[in-house]
Amino acid sequence: MKALSILAISFGLMVITINASAQLSLDQCYRLATENYPLIKQRELILKSRDYNLQNATTGYLPTVSVNAQQTYQSDVTGVPSVPGVEPLIPPVSKNQYKAYGDVMLPLYDGGVVHSQKQAIAANARVEEQSLDVELYKLHERVNQLYFGILLLDGQLEQQVLIREDLQNGLKLAEASIANGTALKSSAELLRAELLRNRQVDIDLISMRTAYLEMLGLLIGQEIAPGALIKPSYLTPGDDVSRPEMQLYEYQRDMLDVENKRLNTIITPRLSTFVQGGYGRPALNMLENNPDTYYIVGFRLNWNLTGFYNRRRDKELINVRRNGVNVQQEVFLFNIGYQGRQQKSEIDRFAQLSASDDEIIVLRVRIKETAYVQLENGVIDSREYLREVQAENLARQSKVLHDIRMLSAQYELQTTRGIDH
């Protein structure tokens, strides 16, 4: 009995701790779980990769510089035909030739290649970042399971306190009756045995609650005080779907639009200006056998017509991929609607059960109170009183279960359709 009292006081202190400890709401758990999950580090890597790629793409506007060198031996060279008996006016050019030169090219018009490349990099980064949000959103379901599991255990522990009070009151009456010689010793032993069983249930529930708190604390990255969790308010989830997957599908379509525009840059002419300077033998004068420096300045137009070959098929492939994204979104919405209808049905079912629980509890309390009076007057024994106490406890446990399950189903439905913060 001393151990039972200590356990009751401990649980009472745990309940009082709700007012003394830091409060923790369900929304805070969502946020902390997302911030603490190791995958969140991937976001920084995505943004860094995007910035580096954008910087690399911007260099397409800068001049390109190349340095080249070559040495050749030719089987023949350009020359002036010789006249017999006349000394050549131009000495023959050496067949051993060499040159070293540098080439600087500055794009004047790239056909939108760099701009479209930067758009593609940004679009791809948005898709990767949104894909990360989709994965992180799945943490909401794990938080819901642990959070409402703890609330359910709290409700069951509270009912354990109530039934323990009824058992102790009955035990006092039984002991008094035994002392007066109006009841058998077994009447008190029956109630003591039930109190011990009540203690065993407490041990199981507290152990489970501790494990749930540790798992939730590990998920959010901080220790949770015993009574810190705030029971959320009942709500009516809306019908709109605001899941991160919806934004992901939109970003995927945007990326396909960018790819479609990039096809135009493949068939667009490119204009650039260049400067080439070098040293070699021969230089620009092919008939001069002595090495010399030289330079060339000019414009260069490049138009690659091979881009027209696959243009139509590439556009069709992009349309196929866009249709694939649309099908994925359609399937996703279908599954969300199907799952949402099931959860809505669960909410309605638990709401009806909870309403009937209230009526059952009222009746069970009256029956138990009557049984207590009968036990006090010796009309019934401890076994019959215990049966009514257990029946009331079962009704209260059902009420707790149905209320928490209804509340949990409401937030599961909200999670299914999307939490719009």
List, as one string, the DSSP characters of 69-130. EEEEE-S----PPP-TTS--SSPPPPSEEEEEEEEEEEEEE-TTHHHHHHHHHHHHHHHHHH
If one counts every other C-beta atom within 10 angstroms of the C-beta of residue 294, the result is: 15
Amino acid at 386: L
Q: Which of 127-141, 225-239, 352-366 has the lowest mean pLDDT?
A: 225-239
Q: Which of 86-90, 237-241, 262-266 has the least mean pLDDT?
A: 86-90
Distance CA 275, CA 284 (A): 14
Say if residue 238's pLDDT is above 50: yes
Residue 239: which residues within 8 A CB-CB, separation 6 or more?
Answer: 417
- What is the arithmetic mean of pLDDT over 259-266? 90
Q: Which pLDDT band, with edges at 50, 70 and 90, does 69 fall under?
A: very high
What does the radius of gyration of the chain's CA atoms come to, in whole angstroms?
A: 42
Residue 13 has pLDDT above 70, yes or no: no
pLDDT over 90 at 80, yes or no? no
Neighbouring residues of 329: CB distance < 8 A, sequence distance ≥ 6: 245, 246, 249
Looking at residues 52-64, what average pLDDT do you find?
A: 90
Residue 157: DSSP 8-state: H
Least confident piece of the model among 18-22, 104-108, 295-299: 18-22
Reduce the DSSP state of residue 356 to 3 states and report it.
Answer: helix
Nearest in space to 159 (alpha carbons), one of 386, 367, 415, 398: 398
Instruction: Supply the pLDDT for residue 85.
Output: 65
Residue 317 — very low, low, confident or very high, per pLDDT cuts 50/70/90? very high
pLDDT band at 277 (very low <50, low <70, confident <90, very high): very high
Confidence of residue 308 (pLDDT cuts 50, 70, 90): confident
Q: What is the dihedral of CA 397, 403, 407, 413, to 10 degrees?
A: 100
Give me the pLDDT at residue 19, please: 39
pLDDT of residue 83: 67
420 confidence band (pLDDT: 50, 70, 90): low
Instruction: Please give the CATH number for the structural domain made up of 14-70+108-267+304-417.
Output: 1.20.1600.10
Nearest Cα to Cα of residue 226 among 171, 124, 157, 160: 157
pLDDT at 289 over 90: no
Question: Cα 305 to the chain's mean position, in Å?
Answer: 45
Mean of pLDDT values over 275-294? 88
391-418: string of b/e by CB count within 10 Å (b at 16+)? bbbebbbbbbbbbbbbbbbbbbbbbbbb
State the CB neighbour count (10 A cutoff) for residue 389: 25
- Rounded Cα–Cα distance for residues 33 and 40 (Å): 10
User: 4 falls in which pLDDT band (50, 70, 90)?
Assistant: very low
How confident is the model over 236-240, as a mean pLDDT?
A: 84
Mean pLDDT of 1-20: 43
For the chain, give every domain's residue range.
14-70+108-267+304-417
Lowest mean pLDDT among 73-87, 124-138, 146-160, 302-316: 73-87
What distance, in Å, lies between the first and last C-alpha atoms of the chain?
Answer: 50
* pLDDT for residue 304 is more than 90: no
Cβ atoms within 10 Å, residue 243? 20
Q: Band of the pLDDT at 316, cuts 50, 70, 90?
A: very high
Please report the pLDDT score of residue 421 as a whole number.
Answer: 47
Using CA atoms, how far apart are residues 392 and 409, in angstroms rounded to an integer? Answer: 26
Averaged pLDDT for residues 72-94: 75
Q: Could you give the percent of the chain with pLDDT greater than 90?
A: 62
262-267 long-range contacts, CB within 8 A, separation 24+: 262/116, 262/117, 262/120, 263/307, 263/311, 263/314, 263/315, 263/318, 264/111, 264/112, 265/110, 265/111, 265/112, 265/113, 265/116, 266/304, 266/307, 266/311, 267/304, 267/305, 267/307, 267/308, 267/311
Q: Give the 3-state DSSP-derived string for 172-205, with helices as H, strands as E and coil as C.
A: HHHHHHHHCCCCCHHHHHHHHHHHHHHHHHHHHH
- Tell me if 416 sits within 8 A of 239, measured CB to CB: no
Q: What is the mean pLDDT of residues 262-268?
A: 88
Least confident among 21-25, 132-136, 281-285: 21-25
SS3 call for 291: coil
Q: Is the pLDDT of residue 244 over 70?
A: yes
Residue-averaged pLDDT of the chain: 87
Percent of the chain at pLDDT > 70 equals 92
What confidence tens digit (pLDDT) does each residue in 201-235 have?
Answer: 999 999 999 999 999 999 999 999 888 899 999 98
Cβ contact 24:229 at 8 Å? yes
pLDDT digits (tens, 9 = 90+) for 142-195: 999 999 999 999 999 999 998 899 889 888 888 887 777 766 778 788 888 989
